[in-house]
Amino acid sequence: MNEFSIVCRILGSLFYRQPQDPVLTPLLTLIKEGKLAQQWPLEQDALLARLQKGGDLPAIAADFQALFDSQEGSVSPLRSSYEPDADDEEIRTFLHQRGMPPDDGAVGHFGRLLLAASWLEDQAQEDETAAQIVLFDKYLLPWSDRFLGKVESHAATAFYRTLAIVCREALAAMREELGESEAEGDSEAEA
């Protein structure tokens, strides 16, 4: 698993899974102990230190519920809430065409889209960069700033406010990396 995949998987998991989910325990432990920064490929040490300070599990679990609860949450993590013409079936088809196993969940969920980007990277298909660019440019980036802005303004904990900032910067860095990979691929194809 490379750095791009790790960043997408970590961020996707933190937005998709409830903090008390046992799958997140090792990750939240790394954050709480300040050890995530040692493995984090982006220059975000100050933000990761802020994330560490805001890592009280009961508080972030309550905040997650208040933010993202499907019935009463203040911030929808679903693409369809930001793009009225959004079609989850289109995303599902796109991912299925690239070999991703079918899933009945909300594929238009912000966290799930990041997890899908990680999956695409891990599969290392010949057109992986092109597929990731489509995922980012068509299904994730057009609404991510609005979503992350709402998370920042509605979060009760420093954890989710900081996570929104970390994610915004990481998305920009990853999209830039995809652009560089695409340019390298184009140069190699011309040679």
If one counts the domains in the chain, the total is 1
| Residue (of 84, 103, 83) closest to 93 by Cα position | 103
Q: Is 41 exposed, middle or buried (0-12, 13-18, 19+ CB in 10 A)?
A: middle
- Interval 96-130: pLDDT, tens: 988 888 777 788 999 999 999 999 888 866 657 88
Residue 27, domain extent: 3-190
CATH number at residue 22: 1.10.3480.10
CB 48 within 8 A of CB 169: no
pLDDT, position 106 = 80
Q: What percent of the chain has pLDDT over 70?
A: 94
| pLDDT the model gives residue 127 | 58
Residue 124: CB atoms within 10 Å: 9
**Alpha helices per DSSP H over the chain:** 3-16, 25-32, 36-39, 45-53, 57-68, 88-97, 110-123, 128-134, 141-154, 158-190
Residue 37 pLDDT greater than 80, yes or no: yes
3-state SS, residue 42? coil
Whole-number Å distance between alpha carbons of 81 and 180: 31
Check: CB of residue 40 under 8 Å from CB of residue 8.
no
> How does pLDDT run across 156-188, given as a tens digit for each residue?
999 999 999 999 999 999 999 888 877 776 655
Distance of CA 70 to the CA centre of its chain: 18
